């Protein structure tokens, strides 16, 4: 009878251990999911900051390009005026 009782106790202990391990696995799974969610949020924030920086840089490049185009057009106009003055001077 004591062997049966020991066997039943062992089965009960193993069942309890399996149940505890199952609960531990669920707890660890929840912790991992929470950590993944937090990491995902951090990654999204980082991507948002990078995109904002890139957009600011693109706006700066666009503005500088507009200034360069304006300066080029002004230089061409000045060059045309100076050529006309030079031609008039040669013609005199």
User: In terms of Cα–Cα distance, which of 6, 35, 64 is closest to 27?
Assistant: 35
- Regions in the chain scoring below 70 on pLDDT: 1-5
Q: How many domains does the chain have?
A: 1
C-alpha 13/C-alpha 75 separation (Å) is 91
Query: What is the pTM for the complete model shown?
Result: 0.55
pLDDT tens digit sequence for 23-47: 888 888 888 888 898 999 999 999 9
C-alpha 17/C-alpha 67 separation (Å) is 74
Could you tell me the CA-to-CA distances from 90 to 78, 81, 85 in Å, in that order? 18, 14, 9
Range of 31's domain? 1-91
């Amino acid at each position: 009878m004591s062997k049966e009782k020991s066997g039943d106790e062992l089965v009960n202990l193993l069942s309890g251990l399996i149940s505890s391990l199952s609960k531990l696995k669920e707890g660890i799974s929840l912790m991992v999911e929470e950590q993944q969610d937090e990491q995902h949020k951090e990654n999204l924030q980082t991507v948002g900051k990078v995109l904002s920086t890139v957009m600011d840089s693109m706006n700066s490049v666009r503005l500088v390009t507009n200034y360069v185009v304006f300066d080029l057009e002004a230089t061409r106009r000045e060059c045309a005026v100076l050529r006309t003055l030079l031609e008039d001077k040669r013609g005199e």
